[in-house]
Amino acid sequence: MGENKSDAIKAYALLLLANYTLTLREAEVFLWLARGKKNKEIAPLLCMEYKTVRTHRFNIYKKLKVHSEHALTEIARGLGLV
């Protein structure tokens, strides 16, 4: 079951890469943000520093042209990710 979930997350990340020119790490951060996780929660999940997550979040907002978590979640909902 865990492997299937991992495959699904990778597929979603690839969809984000293709549609929004996010890097792989930005796509992974996006998926966690869309699930309501905060920067400090995401950092250990992805084995990265808090500041790195914060930088990815900034880049995601810029690339997707959003200014709030709500807008980010709406994009994820529109893609069927949440």
> What is the residue range of 28's domain?
2-78
With beta carbons less than 8 A apart as the criterion, state whether 22 and 16 touch: yes
User: Of 18, 12, 17, which Cα lies nearest the Cα of 34?
Assistant: 12
Which CATH number fits the domain that encloses residue 64?
A: 3.40.50.2300
The residue among 73 and 1 whose pLDDT is bigger is 73
* pLDDT band at residue 81 under the 50/70/90 scheme: confident
Give the pLDDT confidence of 52-64 residue by residue, as tens digits: 999 999 999 999 9
**The residue type at 24:** L
What is the arithmetic mean of pLDDT over 15-42? 87
- Whole-prediction pTM value? 0.78
Count the domains in the chain.
Answer: 1
